[in-house]
A and B are shown apart, each in its own frame.
Chain A
Amino acid sequence: MEKSLNWREFVITRAVKASGYSAIVFVLLIFFFLMREGLPAIGEVSAGNLFSIRWYPIEDYFGILPLITGSIIVTIGATLIAVPFGIGTAVYISEIAPRWMREVLKPLVELLGGLPSVVLGFLGILIVSPNLRILLDLPTGLTAFTGSLLLGGIAVPTVVSVAEDALDAVPRSYREGAWALGATPWQTIWRVTLPAAKSGVLTAVMLGVGRAIGETMTVMMVTGNAPVLATKLGSLFAPVRTMTATIAAEMGEVANGSVHYHTLFLIGIILFLISLTVNVLASSVVFRTKKRAERILS
């Protein structure tokens, strides 16, 4: 009896440990695979070609700059839409909405977060882009701005969900302290609740950005996919192509082991590094919050 219990304990602990370690192993494997397939591109494609502004793989033009700027412009646009809208929604849900409204809105926002992005892309092609073309009098509705709008929509639930949790975690006593001083609800939100939840709200923004930059399907469907270098504000209303869309569109028909193949993986590495940076920034902010919370409680 005693012995079999020990034996079971042993197996279970090991199994749990193994699944924990496997997460690390998988990340490392993916990383090494990316490196193995992508790094050769640096030797095969000259730096001048790689950092040129022309992406036309069939004739050996591998300029990745238009793809990077494409990703950046769409992501910035999405962030500018998702952040104010997302934080506003979070503030409304956590601070202003009556209880029953909160109980309706919160699951609704989370549901929105689970919407498949291909469905949003579909709506983008059918509804957003034709209307945008007419409204802004553009040659085509498939632009970086269309992508930003939809990506913003995709990032909003992430921002709302995390920011709302952060606001919710602000002790009620902070708000009462401000109210008792004669602060209006808006003054309380702006000067007390939001600053107190600052790091959580920042994390929400970072995660929203991360969500936007890695999104593939929607942008591939609505940004027009023209690898044109985005340099000026006007590029926002012209077609662009993002890194994610490039990989998704071309990986299927590339010859295994070719220069083109390696370059696509190189783009993957760059994308990986960008989202790694965003995530590390986000988690370092979270980490700081924790330490500060401990200080307050001690």
Chain B
Amino acid sequence: MNKIIIENLSLQYSDGTESLKGISMEIRQNAVTVLFGPAGGGKSTLLRCLNRLNDLTEVRSNSGRILIDGEDILDPKTDVIALRRKVGMVFARPVTLPMSIRENITYGLELAGEKRRAKLNEAVERSLKLAAIWDEVKDRLNEPAIALSGGQQQRVCLARVLALQPEIILLDEPTSGLDPISTGKVEAALYELKKNFTVILVPHSVQQAARTADHAAFFLQGELIEYGDGKKMFTAPKQKKTEDYIMGRFG
């Protein structure tokens, strides 16, 4: 089932760089969709359109439609705060907020108005378990999150997003700063997550793209070059440019 439908999406930043040129694609529910390609291709920009985080950067023009569950989220009337609760995001560098581990998880819920202690505690345990970090932090929930290692912080950030029970999870190179073991743990968590969520991932390498993709989209300089089944894309790409990139001939 299609969760997100993107229709002819274009975006130009204020400094004149054109980041997205007429992108149209459909993103499936309960699957991992991977957006890959060389730097500056528009992958992150597309992610940041999906939760309207681009509202806060200087954008010159933004056209097209993004339908999530049939509703156009680019409509100025959209409740952006509610949208961001529904569409969670994990960043390239782990951004733990300057609070304890527990508060990092409960922060989003408290913002949403949840005050009941039991609910919050339950959410902390559930989301930390989902992010595969519960065993490592369960005895130190009240310590500052900044004291954790990079890999642990990144999984706390994932848990923080999961605590809000979003429907869509955006991950922007979530393992770019992590060692292989932590990367493996995050990828394993993703595999579990897609059972209940729609996952959109910008991987930090072609290898990771190939490992995780159910569906894959290849972006080059703001254009969507090829989009299709992940397995096929990485074994028998249709486009010459995609093949060149996967084979490491450029990028």
Q: Chain B interface mostly helix, strand, loop or mixed?
A: helix
Q: Is A9's beta carbon under 8 Å from chain B?
A: no
Give A174's nearest chain B residue, CB to CB. B95
Complex: A173 Cα to B88 Cα, angstroms: 15
Partner of B111, one of A176, A183, A198: A183
Confirm or deny: B157 has a beta carbon within 8 angstroms of a beta carbon on chain A: yes
- The residue of chain B having its C-beta at the shortest distance from the C-beta of A194 within the complex is B98
* Given A174-B95, A192-B98, A195-B98, also A179-B56 (CB < 8 A): yes
Decide if B91 touches A296 in the complex (CB within 8 Å). no
Chain A residue with the shortest CB-CB distance to B92: A173
Q: How far is the CA of A60 from the CA of B97 in the complex (A)?
A: 61
- Which chain B residues border A176 with CB–CB below 8 Å? 53, 56, 91, 95
Most chain A CB atoms below 10 A, which of B82, B89, B98, B146: B98
User: CB-CB < 8 A to A174: which residues of B?
Assistant: 95, 97-98
Interface residue count on the B side (C-beta < 8 Å): 24
* Residues on the B chain within 8 Å of A192, using CB: 97-98
Question: Are A182's CB and B91's CB within 8 A?
Answer: no
Output the least CB separation between B207 and chain A (Å): 26
CB within 8 Å of B: which A169-185 residues: 171, 173-184
Give chain A residues whose Cβ lies under 8 Å from the Cβ of B111.
181-184, 187
Tell yes or no: B194 within 8 A of A by CB: no
A178-B53 contact in complex given A184-B81, A191-B107, C-beta closer than 8 Å: no
Chain B CB within 8 A of A196 CB: yes
**B93 CB within 8 Å of chain A:** yes
Interfacial residues of chain B within 149-203, with CB under 8 A of chain A in the complex? 157, 160-161, 164
Question: Shortest Cβ distance from B161 into chain A, in angstroms?
Answer: 7
Bound complex: CA A180 to CA B86 (Å): 10
Q: Let me know if B88 and A180 touch, CB within 8 A.
A: yes
Q: In the complex, A295→B148 CA distance in Å?
A: 11
A175 partner residues in chain B, CB cutoff 8 A: 56
A180, A198, A295: most-surrounded residue (chain B CB, <10 A) = A180
Q: What A residues does B93 contact at CB under 8 A?
A: 173
B56 neighbours in A (Cβ, 8 Å)? 175-176, 179
Within 8 A of A (CB), among B123-150: 146
A195 to B88 alpha-carbon distance, docked (Å): 23
Query: CA A171 – CA B91 in complex, angstroms?
Result: 13
By a CB distance below 8 angstroms, the chain A residues around B81 are 182-184
Alpha-carbon distance A187/B107, docked complex (angstroms): 10
- Bound CA–CA A192/B81 (angstroms): 16
- Residue from B111, B146, B160 whose CB has the most chain A CB atoms within 10 Å: B111
Residues of A within 8 A of B228 (CB): none
Q: How distant is the Cα of A263 from the Cα of B118 in the complex, in angstroms?
A: 65
Residue pair B146, A181 in contact (C-beta under 8 Å):
no
**Cβ-neighbour of A180 out of B51, B82, B98, B99 (below 8 A):** B51
Instruction: Give B39-66 interface residues, CB cut-off 8 Å to A.
Output: 51, 53, 56
At the interface, yes or no: B215 with Cβ under 8 Å from chain A? no
Contact of A181 with B95 at beta-carbon distance under 8 Å, contacts A187-B111, A191-B107 already known:
no
A192-204 CB mask vs B (1 if < 8 Å, else 0) is 1001101000000
The 8 Å CB contact of A177, one of B51, B95, B112, B164, is B95
Contact A181 B161 (CB under 8 A): yes
- Min CB distance, A160 to chain B, in Å? 22
Task: Find chain B residues with CB under 8 A from A178 CB.
Answer: 97, 107
B85 interface neighbour in A182, A196, A295, A296, Cβ under 8 Å = A182
Indicate if B108 sits at the interface (CB-CB under 8 A). Answer: yes
Report the bound CA distance from A168 to B88 in whole Å.
26
User: Please, which residues of chain B bring their CB within 8 A of the CB of A184?
Assistant: 81, 111
Tell me, in angstroms, the Cα distance from A195 to B107 when the chains sit together: 14
**B3 contacts partner chain A, Cβ-Cβ < 8 Å:** no
B231 CB within 8 Å of chain A = no
Q: Is B98 in contact with A181, judged by CB distance below 8 angstroms?
A: no
| B84 touches A (CB below 8 Å) | yes
Q: Does A180 contact B112, Cβ atoms closer than 8 Å? A: no
Contact B95 A173 (CB under 8 A): yes
Chain B nearest CB, measured from A70 CB (Å): 40
A196 with B98: CB separation less than 8 A: yes
A180:B89 contact, CB within 8 angstroms: yes
With A173-B95, A192-B97 given, is the CB distance from A181 to B53 under 8 Å?
A: no
Note all chain A residues with C-beta closer than 8 A to B108: 181-183
Q: How far is the CA of A257 from the CA of B97 in the complex (A)?
A: 60
19 more A-B residue pairs beyond the given contacts A180-B91, A181-B111, with a C-beta to C-beta distance below 8 A = A173-B95, A176-B53, A176-B56, A176-B91, A177-B95, A177-B157, A179-B53, A180-B51, A181-B84, A181-B85, A181-B88, A181-B161, A181-B164, A182-B82, A182-B111, A183-B81, A183-B107, A184-B81, A187-B111
- Those 7 A-B pairs whose CB atoms lie nearest each other, nearest first: A177-B95, A181-B108, A180-B89, A182-B84, A182-B85, A173-B95, A196-B98
Pairs A–B under 8 Å by Cβ, sample size 16 = A173-B93, A177-B97, A179-B56, A180-B89, A181-B84, A181-B85, A181-B108, A181-B111, A181-B160, A181-B161, A182-B112, A183-B81, A184-B111, A191-B107, A192-B97, A195-B99
